[in-house]
């Protein structure tokens, strides 16, 4: 598996950072928690202080939580959402159904409410694949999620969105 290290040194500065909500599934808490904590650390290092973490029953519930948070954000305080979860392929179609609906729902929320929704919900065939993406090293997907959020927030502000 080819791994890419995310370069955080060139991330844009965010003036007047707003709020970022991190949504995470309660399944596989060691993996999800590692990605979430890494993401939080990077966001704080880049000026974000108003971070809130919501733990939900599973990945299928992430889209509703995202839509609810954004729908109730009339003042536009939320700069973006970051979602973490792990979905492991089993012997039924549950994997496909949950993965597809989670991704569709998060995409719908992003487009409807016009705010970045960064998705690091890992659909994997073996739990070891998720563990590798949440390890305590420079390949942790929390880095990628934080960088993507900061880059999208800066870009949107640069085009007046």
Q: Which residues are catalytic?
A: 94
First-to-final CA distance of the chain: 37
Residue pointed to by tokens 């808490």:
29
The residues with which 85 forms a beta bridge, in sequence order, are: 121
Strands (E), 26-155: 50-56, 78-88, 117-124
Q: Tell me the C-alpha distance between 106 and 98, whole Å.
A: 12
Q: Tell me the C-alpha distance between 131 and 113, whole Å.
A: 32
């Amino acid at each position: 598996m080819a791994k890419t290290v995310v370069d955080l040194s060139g991330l844009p500065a965010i003036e007047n950072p707003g709020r970022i909500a991190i949504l995470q599934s309660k399944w596989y808490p060691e993996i999800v928690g590692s990605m979430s904590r890494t993401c939080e650390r990077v966001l704080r290092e880049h000026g974000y202080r108003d971070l809130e973490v919501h733990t939900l029953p599973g990945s299928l519930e992430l889209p509703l939580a995202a839509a609810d948070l954004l729908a109730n954000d009339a003042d536009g305080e939320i700069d973006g959402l970051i979602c973490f979860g792990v979905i492991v392929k089993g012997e039924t179609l549950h994997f496909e159904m949950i993965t597809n609906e989670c991704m569709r729902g998060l995409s719908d929320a992003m487009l409807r409410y016009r705010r970045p929704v960064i998705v690091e919900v890992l659909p994997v065939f073996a739990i070891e694949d998720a563990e590798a993406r949440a390890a305590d090293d420079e390949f942790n997907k929390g880095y990628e999620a934080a960088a993507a959020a900061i880059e999208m927030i800066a870009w949107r502000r640069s085009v007046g969105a």
